[in-house]
């Protein structure tokens, strides 16, 4: 299960990196996410997320039971230490995968919003240029057109402000992506350390079993 969780996290990180940079793969990923969010896709995603959350809470509950057992026994059993490390790693990986999935959803949403805003800004620019080029004959029409142009320019400034805000949000999302990458590297180092600790504990258990068998003899 741990290998599967690492695979999921690396896949989510790859999707985030593709969404962050403008490449041909970005369009394909966005189209895939659009299809996932249609029909029964959201229900399936929520079901999977809920299942992962339940399993993560189960791991947390198991860790709490082991910790309570340590407090009651006033000693740490090597087997419990191995189980504690395993549950801790699983809960961490599942929490990270859920967080990365949320990041992918937000990045996809912001990218779509930016595209819509840019199209609206371009349309407003073209419409404003058309009004500037018009030469009406009557003074009333001139005033009406000037007011409409003023209104459109105000909308254009508002859209530019919204576009700047979305751009800042995208930059913040990119910074979060870099932080998540560093955190994933930390998870890998922790996983290697836990594997080494697990092996040491197994060696201790084997030595203890040998000593007990010799004692029985």
Q: Kindly state whether residue 136 falls inside one of the protein's structural domains.
A: no
Reported as a single tens digit per residue, the pLDDT across 48-66 is: 888 888 888 888 888 888 8
What pLDDT is recorded for position 217?
60
- Look at residue 23 and tell me if it is in a domain: yes
- 4 and 29 co-located in one domain: yes
Is 140 a member of any domain?
Answer: no
Do 75 and 168 fall into the same domain? Answer: no
How much is the pLDDT for 168? 87
Any residues with CB less than 8 A from the CB of 29 and at least 6 apart, and which?
15, 18, 19
Domain boundary among 131, 162, 195: 131
Q: Which domain holds residue 206?
A: 148-216
The percent of residues in the chain predicted with pLDDT above 70, rounded, is: 92
Residue at 137 is within a domain: no
Q: At what angle do helices 78-133 and 24-36 cross, to 10 degrees?
A: 100
pLDDT in tens, 106-141: 888 888 888 888 888 888 888 777 656 655 555 677
Q: What is the reported pTM?
A: 0.51
Query: Do residue 118 and residue 175 come from a single domain?
Result: no
Tell me: do 123 and 154 sit in the same domain.
no
Instruction: Let me know whether 69 and 164 are in one domain.
Output: no
Same structural domain, 92 and 161: no
For residue 76, name the pLDDT band (cuts at 50, 70, 90): low
- The answer to whether residues 7 and 37 belong to one domain is yes
On whether both 123 and 195 belong to a single domain, the answer is no
pLDDT-derived band of residue 28, with 50, 70 and 90 as boundaries? confident
Q: How many domains does the chain have?
A: 2
Whether 74 and 156 map to the same domain: the answer is no
- 22 lies in the same domain as 95: yes
142 assigned to some structural domain: no
| Residue 149 confidence (pLDDT) above 70 | yes
Q: Is residue 3 part of a domain?
A: yes
Query: Do 159 and 208 have their domain in common?
Result: yes
Band of the pLDDT at 43, cuts 50, 70, 90? Answer: confident
User: What is residue 75's predicted lDDT score, i.e. its pLDDT?
Assistant: 63
**Do 20 and 104 sit in the same domain of this protein?**
yes
How much is the average pLDDT of 207-211? 80
> Minimum mean pLDDT among 18-27, 69-78, 133-142, 208-217: which range?
133-142
Burial 164-184 (b: 16+ CB within 10 A, else e): eebeebbeebbeebeebeeeb
């Amino acid at each position: 299960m741990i290998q599967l969780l690492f695979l999921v996290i690396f896949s989510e990180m790859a999707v985030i990196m593709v969404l962050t940079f403008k490449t041909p793969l970005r369009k394909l990923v966005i189209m895939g996410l659009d299809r996932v969010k249609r029909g029964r896709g959201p229900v399936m995603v929520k079901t999977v997320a809920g299942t992962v959350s339940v399993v993560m809470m189960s791991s947390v509950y198991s860790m709490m039971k082991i910790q309570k057992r340590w407090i009651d026994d006033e000693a740490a059993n090597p087997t419990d230490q191995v189980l504690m490390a395993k549950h801790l790693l699983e809960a961490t990986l599942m929490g990270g995968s859920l967080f990365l999935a949320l990041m992918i959803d937000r990045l996809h949403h912001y990218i779509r919003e930016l595209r819509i805003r840019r199209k609206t800004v371009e349309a407003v620019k073209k419409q404003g240029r058309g009004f500037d080029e018009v030469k009406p004959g009557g003074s009333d029409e001139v005033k009406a057109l000037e007011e409409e142009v003023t209104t459109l320019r105000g909308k254009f400034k508002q859209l530019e402000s919204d576009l700047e805000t979305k751009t800042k949000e995208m930059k913040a999302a990119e910074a979060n992506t870099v932080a998540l990458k560093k955190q994933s590297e930390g998870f890998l180092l922790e996983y290697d350390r836990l594997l080494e600790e697990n092996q040491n504990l197994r060696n201790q258990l084997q030595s203890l079993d040998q000593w007990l068998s010799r004692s029985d003899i």
